[in-house]
Amino acid sequence: MTDNGNTMRVRTLLSVQRAMLGMVTPALVGVAVSWGEHLVRARFLYDRRTEGDLDLVGEMETEVLSDFTDIVTDFSIEVVSSSRDATLVDGEVWAYLRRDLR
């Protein structure tokens, strides 16, 4: 990995995690993140859809956009049963993963 790739990884993860402060609800299972030169993608995995999820994810997306000058974001919501059912897609890393005790 080049230094630029590592720098983007650090910037992306810190930005997403900062945006999540105060926004994590009990239904959030995990946040899978990937990035490119001009793209930050995040999948917000919930164990159920609750009213307001879309608004919260939208607020977090806006926060991430404010940290960069030249990127496009692609934030989405998916429903999974638990963190055991949450899987990463190629190129993703976990920014957040809930510990399930089941």
Span 53-73, mean pLDDT?
A: 96
Domains and CATH numbers, the chain: 3-97 (3.30.70.1350)
Q: What percent of the chain has pLDDT over 70?
A: 93
Query: Mapped to the 3 state alphabet, what secondary structure does 9-50 carry?
Result: HHHHHHHHHHHHCCCCCCCEEEEEEEEECCEEEEEEEECCCC
Which two structure tokens, joined as six digits, stand for 78? 């998916």
Q: Alpha-carbon distance 28 to 45, whole Å?
A: 6
Span 83-94, mean pLDDT?
A: 93
Residue 3 has pLDDT above 90, yes or no: no
Indicate the pLDDT class of residue 82, thresholds 50, 70 and 90.
confident
